[in-house]
Amino acid sequence: MEPRIWREMGLTDEEYERVKVLMGREPNELEVGIFGVMWSEHCSYKTSKPILRRFPTEGPQVLQGPGENAGIVDIGDGLAVVFKMESHNHPSALEPYQGAATGVGGILRDVFTMGARPIAVLDPLRFGPLEEENTRRLVRGVVEGIGGYGNSIGIPTVAGDVYFHESYRGNPLVNAMAVGLLEHRHIAKGVASGVGNPVMVVGARTGRDGIHGATFASVELSEESEAKRSAVQVGDPFMEKLLMEACLELIQSGAIVGIQDMGAAGLTSSSCEMASRGDSGIDMDLSLVPRRETGMTPYEIMLSESQERMLVVPKAGCEQEVEAVFHRWGLEAVVVGKVTADGMLRLLENGQVVAEIPAKALTDEAPLYHRPTREPEYYARLKEQKLDGVKAQKGYGEILLDLLGSPNLASKSWVYRQYDHQVGTNTVVKPGGDAAVLRVRGTNKGLGMTTDCNARYVYLDPYVGGALTVVEAAQNLVCVGAKPLAITDCLNFGNPEKPEIFWQFEQACAGIAEACLVLETPVTGGNVSLYNETNGEAIYPTPTIGMVGLVENLEQVVRNRFSEPGEEILLLGEVSGSLAGSEYLALFEGVEAGALPPLDLREIKKRLDFMLSLIKEELVMSAHDLTEGGLAVALAEMAEGCGARVSVQGENELELLFGERLGRILFTVKPQDAGKVQELAQHAGVSVTRLGESGGEAIAMTVNGVMMLEVAIADCQRVREETLPKALN
């Protein structure tokens, strides 16, 4: 075989040699294509796996850790929450509507294929500068695509985040997380077992769309990427809605052994992964696969990424039951093969064998790379950069308004108004809260959920920044009254073959692992998206964390707005922040530098536990974590119905007002409870400082007794609300 062939299929010369050894012979072209896609970074995690193995993945609450279509965590009452996050970055860069829409479709399938009914979608998005027309085009397309899919299928999109930064200019990030609920007894898995059991293709027909999507996701974007537009799939939410209803009905009927979504690498990955997990083989006759177009080759059928399809292994004799369920929903279900004992993925065309590969050679035997790492030159330089000389260039009130109106801090209501965030009528805390909360019907419980990542922190200090993504997610959950349970992650990085990028990856993952360990939120799965570069420029390292938490009593849910005038405003944690890596520094000085404040995860865990205990005792009226923009911005965000008067003491006004430091929570209590809260804080060994009280029509802040700013809340709201509509309508 000519080297050109395997190279085009994405295999290196060494990998091709490995294929020959595993096969014991020269593979044919179809087999090479199958290896090429299964050993792509997207499917095999060959670069990231050695690092991901360091994540803590166990805990008493974990029912299913990494390795399945989605993770599963127990929430009591015989119920469990199923969740996972994935990226759809490259498709969205080329075709924002369809790229984002199919990202939602894919992640929903991962959840309902486990037997869970999806109850929510979350979408973390990253774009280039909002001032640029191309960014605006992408934002409009992506938001419309997410809404177009999620709204039609009837799953609420309840949270997410949106940031703009030049590192995402050519390579936006479109991550999607889905959360579902199931009863323990209905857990389904992607496993093919039981020799002689049939193998069925169900759902949409197979076409030529999306061929090579997985390989495409594993290379950098360039000018030539435009030519690969056909690698972007097209979604049909109506079809998926029918598929979802049919699959859930089927799983609950008990007629099946295993089921898996055909996502990246379609029929190829679903068949060999199911066989591999079941320690069995699969024989499939590709001429039986229902097709949308004629003349498709076995290669095209195996590599197609046509959406809204599933591979199902029913119990022998249940084929007609499967057909009946799918026909009722107007869908096809066709037997294409059977489970065998020999561990081979054997493909036939009209009865002739066209490929024969040991299933585990495609999965467990994929190569693993231990890439070299090198600390990038910028790291020490930016860390040592002194920020002492930074002085405010205008009045603090003006600074506050500028920050509130800046694209990263401005209200994202332009985005989430386009998402149906209420269908299902379970949304208790809507978008705009610190975390979304959904009620669990039939119980008094709720599920908190959030996605977070401050990529600037991760860039400046990947270890600390990585840990802080987990901290931010946890503090968001705690602020609504949810106890953090577990995470999924979507690790978006540049080209791992560059030692500096792989260093970022390794460091960030180490930070995430440590934070997950201390905060007791194990990793239950996720997705790695590497090669996020355009013409050689990498994105900021963006390990997005999706976290779910449990609200034991829905009546105790806390919101991030002052409830009424006269509440005592308290701050949990350090009063002063740091300008290092802050939004203030980026916006007013054009600088992203500095050493992040020292990280003390155990101290943060203590604070989060303390906060949850206060909420449980119903002492907290409102709560909000301090993130970008620091104390002044957090106060302004809480002041929807009424303002606040606060005074703080300290050395540096800028750091006090706008400095950032995670692990801090602003909260309010009734005046008569303030003393008790202080006592409890002392007992718990955490620092709680009284800052002032809610009331009035303005945010007024004094430092060391001197009034620093006084801004009407109506002005704060106006600037927050007008930025996105102005740029995007």
DSSP 341: S
User: By rule CB under 8 A, what count of residues binds another protein?
Assistant: 33
**Is residue 726 near another protein by the rule CB under 8 A?**
no
C-alpha pair distances (Å), 371 with each of 67, 501, 682: 22, 10, 48
Asked if residue 233 lies in contact with residue 209, where contact means CB atoms within 8 angstroms, the answer is: yes
Binding test (CB under 8 A) with another protein, winner from 42, 90, 360, 439: 439
φ, ψ for residue 120, nearest 5 deg: -165, 155
| 254 interacts with another protein by CB under 8 A | no
The total of other beta-carbon atoms located within 10 Å of residue 9's CB is 23
Interface with another protein includes 497 (CB under 8 A)?
Answer: no
Q: Which stretch binds another protein (CB under 8 A): 287-295, 315-323, 427-435, 631-639?
A: 427-435
> Which residue of 188, 286, 403, 428 would you call a contact of another protein, by CB under 8 A?
428
Task: Report the half-sphere exposure of 644 (CA within 13 A, side-chain side).
Answer: 32
| Annotation says 88 is catalytic | yes
Nearer to another protein, 418 or 689 (CB): 418
For the record, the structure tokens of 406 come out as 């800046």
Q: Give the one residue of 133, 425, 683, 705 binding another protein; rule: CB under 8 A.
A: 425
Measured distance CA(571)–CA(689) in Å, rounded: 5
Q: Which is nearer to another protein, 423 or 517 (CB)?
A: 423
Interhelix angle 674-684/601-616, nearest 10 degrees: 140
Which of 242, 548, 669, 703 lies at the binding interface for another protein (CB under 8 A)?
Answer: 242
Rg of the chain in Å (alpha carbons): 26
Contacting another protein (CB under 8 A), which of 105, 237, 496, 663?
237
Distance CA 139, CA 143 (A): 6
Of the candidates 88, 90, 165, 212, the residue annotated as catalytic is 88
Closer to another protein by Cβ: residue 426 or 504: 426
Q: In terms of CB distance, is 71 or 148 closer to another protein? A: 148
Strands (E), 115-240: 117-127, 157-164, 173-183, 198-203
Do 495 and 41 touch, CB atoms closer than 8 A? Answer: no
Site stretch for another protein (CB under 8 A), options 197-205, 346-354, 368-376, 423-431:
423-431
Residue 153 in the binding site for another protein (CB under 8 A): yes
Question: Could you tell me which stretch among 106-114, 169-177, 413-421, 490-498 binds another protein (CB under 8 A)?
Answer: 413-421
- Binding-site member from 24, 330, 590, 598 for another protein (CB under 8 A): 330
- From candidates 35, 112, 326, 416, binder to another protein by CB under 8 A: 416
Cα distances (Å, whole numbers) of residue 162 to 277, 530, 718 = 37, 20, 19
From the CB of 418, what's the least distance to another protein, in Å? Answer: 5
Angle of helix 133-153 relative to helix 237-253, nearest 10 degrees, comes to 40
441 makes contact with another protein (CB under 8 A): yes
* Encoded tokens for 140: 């409009």
User: If binding is defined by CB under 8 A, does position 25 make contact with another protein?
Assistant: no
CB closer to another protein, 9 vs 155: 155
Residue in 55, 329, 463, 584 binding another protein, rule: CB under 8 A: 329
SS3 534: strand
Output 421 or 624, the one with its CB closest to another protein: 421
Binding mask 519-558 for another protein (x = CB under 8 A): -----------------------------------x----
Q: Which one of 143-151, 334-342, 584-592, 671-679 is the stretch in contact with another protein (CB under 8 A)?
A: 143-151
The span from the CA of 101 to the CA of 81, in Å, is 23
Q: Greatest CA span in the chain, whole angstroms?
A: 86
The verdict on whether 42 is a catalytic residue reads yes
From candidates 151, 206, 454, 476, binder to another protein by CB under 8 A = 151
Task: Give the dihedral of Cα atoms 100, 102, 107, 113; nearest 10 deg.
Answer: 170
H helical segments located in 124-231: 133-153, 213-216
Residue type, 566: G
For residues 187 and 423, which CB has a smaller minimum distance to another protein in the complex?
Answer: 423
Task: Provide the minimum distance between the beta carbon of 479 and another protein in the complex, in angstroms, as a whole number.
Answer: 18
List, edge to edge, every strand of the sheet that includes 483-492. Answer: 427-429, 436-439, 446-452, 542-551, 483-492, 523-529
User: What is the C-alpha to C-alpha distance for residues 325 and 333, in angstroms, rounded to an integer?
Assistant: 9
CA-based nearest residue to 592, from 583, 604, 605: 583
Q: Which positions from 186 to 225 touch another protein by CB under 8 A, shown as an x/- string? A: ----------------------------------------
Binding residues for another protein restricted to 275-304, rule: CB under 8 A: none
Told to check if 23 binds another protein by CB under 8 A, we report no
Site for another protein in 61-120 (CB under 8 A): none
Measured from the CB atom, is 304 or 427 closer to another protein?
A: 427
In the region spanning residues 625 to 664, those forming contacts with another protein, defined by CB under 8 A, are: none
Q: Which of 31, 110, 123, 236 binds another protein (CB under 8 A)?
A: 236
Q: Does 486 bind another protein (CB under 8 A)?
A: no
Contact 240, 155 (CB under 8 A): no
Interface with another protein, residue 147, by CB under 8 A: yes
Give the residue from 503, 487, 424 showing the smallest Cα distance to 450. 487
Asked if 180 interacts with another protein (CB under 8 A), we say no
Considering only 67, 238, 327, 617, the residue that binds another protein (CB under 8 A) is: 238
Q: With respect to another protein, which residue has the nearer C-beta, 554 or 684?
A: 554
Binding status of residue 394 toward another protein by CB under 8 A: no
Distance from the Cα of residue 197 to its chain's centroid: 35
C-alpha span between 350 and 333 (Å, rounded)? 19
> Taking the complex as a whole, how short is the minimal distance between the CB of residue 326 and another protein, in angstroms?
13
* Near another protein by CB under 8 A: residue from 421, 445, 607, 720: 421
CA–CA distance, 504 with 479 (Å, rounded to integer): 30
* Binding range to another protein, per CB under 8 A, among 172-180, 237-245, 272-280, 453-461: 237-245
Query: How far apart are alpha carbons 135 and 157 in whole angstroms?
Result: 22
User: Going by C-beta distance under 8 Å and a sequence separation of 6 or more, which residues neighbour residue 425?
Assistant: none
Answer yes or no: are the C-beta atoms of 347 and 282 closer than 8 Å.
Answer: no
Task: Show the tokens assigned to 129.
Answer: 């500068």
With left for phi above 0 and alpha for psi between -120 and 50, is residue 66 left, alpha or beta?
beta
From 264-272, 302-310, 424-432, 586-594, span contacting another protein (CB under 8 A):
424-432
CB of 423 to another protein, least distance (A): 6
Closest CA to 361 of 347, 344, 346, 348: 344
**Terminal CA-to-CA distance of the chain, rounded, Å?**
55
Shortest Å distance, C-beta 440 to another protein: 12
User: Quick check: helix, strand or coil at residue 366?
Assistant: coil
Contact between 449 and another protein per CB under 8 A = no
Hey, which residues are catalytic here? 42, 88
Residues that bind another protein (CB under 8 A): 144, 147-148, 151-154, 236-239, 241-242, 329-330, 416-428, 430, 439, 441, 554, 729
